[in-house]
Amino acid sequence: MNYTIDTVLESNEDFSAFLKTKIREFNNEHSIHHENSRQQGAIQPIHLIVGDDDGNWIGGIAAEVYWNWVEINDFWLHPNLRGNGLGRLLLQRVEDIAYKKGATKVLLTTFDFQAKTFYELHGYVVVGEVKDYPPGSSYYTMVKLLN
């Protein structure tokens, strides 16, 4: 097979979509779990939305349940809401909902300047660390078993 290599130093949505499609095809071929997660309804979203009296969003959690896991993708609260137990309440609620949907484990990522200590206080364990990402910080993968 002959080939060429082109270098493109700008965004290329078509090429990115091509790579994602090819990786998805490979994963589907080699993992029944990947293939099954592509079926309608296989990924179950959870959104806990915190709003103020005017209906403005001031925090919440976005998560997804699949493969008997819940992945917490985004979790943010307005600074005025932090430190009063609301974060703990939201975390517990997403865990409870996910457990009822069949999740037995939780997965999330965080930076050391974000919420690593908060998650550790609530039973999460670091299973991976990328040091100096970004420079001077660490990036953590954390998990928790649900019961």
Question: Which residues have C-beta within 8 Å of that of residue 99, sequence separation ≥ 6?
Answer: 146
Span 104-137, pLDDT tens digits: 999 999 999 999 999 999 999 999 999 999 999 9
Reported as type and span, the H/E element at residue 96 is helix 86-100
Spatial contact of 143 and 106, defined as CB atoms under 8 Å apart: yes
Please give the CATH architecture assigned to the domain spanning 42-145.
3-Layer(aba) Sandwich (3.40)
pLDDT, residue 51, reads: 97
Span 68-103, pLDDT tens digits: 999 999 999 999 999 999 999 999 999 999 999 999
Of 121, 120, 137, 138, which is closest to residue 129 (Cα–Cα)?
Answer: 138
- C-alpha triplet 66, 72, 77: angle, nearest 5°: 150
SS3 65: strand
Spatial contact of 100 and 68, defined as CB atoms under 8 Å apart: no
Strands 105-111 and 69-77, sheet pairing:
parallel
> What helix, strand, coil percent values describe the chain, rounded to 5?
35, 35, 35
